[in-house]
Structure 1
């Protein structure tokens, strides 16, 4: 199970790192999507920091199981919030946050099972 966690955790960490970087730099596609659902621009740095923290936590979780579990829980909650935000704004382009939430849930299950 540890190898499966390592693969899922690292892939998810890479995706989160890319997303955090794009959010920090206010990439047009990211800012357009976030603005479309009503996320204020002042929140972008905080949301990017949360994604970056999740990525770091998943990687640290390779050595410290409790950190990996906590990071996966945080990422699941982050993307559940993203899905809810999209749905409340009647924006049904939710594939990306749903997939990332499911990957984070898989990382959590795998991390717990491999500890």
Structure 2
């Protein structure tokens, strides 16, 4: 079980960390996604900070389990909010969202099962 927990945690941290960096450096992809779901660009930086905090929290959870559990739960909620934004805007290209959501959900489930 430890291997699954470690693998999903590291994968989720890596994916959300890369998304955080893309948001924080002003990459075009987060901007195009914000335009697609009709979200003001002023939210890109706060979303990047949330993703970065989630990634760091997942990694910190390897040492302090409660932090990992909170981070994984927070990321699942974050991506559920993203789903609502996509559905509201009728933006049904959910493949990237599915990858992030499934990975963060797997991290949450394996964290709960392992701890």
TM-score range, shorter chain: over 0.9
Structure 2 alignment gaps of length 5 or more: none
Corresponding position of 2:34: 34
Distance 2:57 2:49 in 1: 12
Alignment of 1:80-91 (within 5 A): 80-91=80-91
How far apart, in 1, do the equivalents of 2:6 and 2:31 lie? 30
TM norm structure 1? 0.94
Q: TM-score, normalised by structure 2?
A: 0.94
Once the 2 structures are TM-superposed, how far is the Cα of residue 2 of structure 1 from its aligned partner?
Answer: 2.0
2:60 pairs with 1:60: yes
> What count of residue pairs does the alignment treat as equivalent?
115
Q: Are 1:114 and 2:98 matched, yes or no?
A: no
Structure 1, unpaired ranges of 5+: none
Three-state SS of the structure 1 residue aligned to 2:111 is helix
Give 1:103 shift.
Answer: 1.5
Match of 2:103 in 1: 103
Partner of 1:71: 71
The structure 1 segments of at least 4 consecutive aligned residues displaced by more than 2 Å after TM superposition are none
| Pairwise CA distance, 1:104 | 1.2
Aligned-residue Cα RMSD (Å) equals 1.0
**Could you tell me which residue of structure 1 aligns to residue 24 of structure 2?**
24
CA shift digits 1:44-65 (9 cap, x unpaired): 1110000000000110111111
